[in-house]
Homo-oligomer: A and B are copies of this chain.
């Protein structure tokens, strides 16, 4: 009995479940049925039950799901019960936005250091003294951060990515507009802002195709 691969579509819905469960937990609601979850998330009850069952039988017939338990299970599945050491590459606009984003620390993400090159090295931005990207390799060997956040110009991204992989990084959150090449034991998640914006303009100009809020 080999576990069957959980599809990307399912994985992308987990944060949504987590978010809504947090909201109803805060309201003091104890139990919830797939039908009620359907009403607030806009997904079908059937899909919700299918999705959750990939990870275990968290519900109970005739009762539904215990909100607190389900939320905590999903938290574990996503892996946000742990804490992570992250570094940021690039202290431009996006780098700064992430440095300063309170939401992360509270979810167990610790931005331990920030790298850039040239003039910027040594500057202090939001409590971070910018480190020299030329010394990245030694840094990785010594400090073993798990996550690297790429917020540097497109042209430099692949090169830095290679060094990150070499240095043992486990996950890369990439904000540069490139499809980075890396071995598949290092996880890549892209935030391609330009592609997102283009999707917006596409639908503004082709309203007929717009599926509504299904994305």
Contacts and interface: CB of A to CB of B under 8 A. Distances in A.
Contacts of A197: 104, 107, 109, 173, 189
Contacts of A142: none
A18 interface: yes
The oligomer's copy count stands at 2
A161 to B, nearest CB: 12
Size bin of chain A's contact surface: 35 or more
Contact of A203 (B101, B171, B214): B171
A210 B184 contact: yes
Interface string A152-186: 00000000000000000011110001011010110
B188 A213 contact: yes
Contacts of A109: 197
A3 interface: yes
Interface stretch (A6-14, A61-69, A132-140): A6-14
A194 B80 CA distance: 11
A198 B5 contact: no
Given A6-B209, A77-B202, A191 B190 contact: no
Interface of A: 3, 5-6, 8, 11-12, 14-16, 18-19, 41-42, 77-80, 82, 84, 93-94, 96-98, 100-101, 103-104, 107, 109, 146-147, 170-173, 177, 179-180, 182, 184-185, 187-215
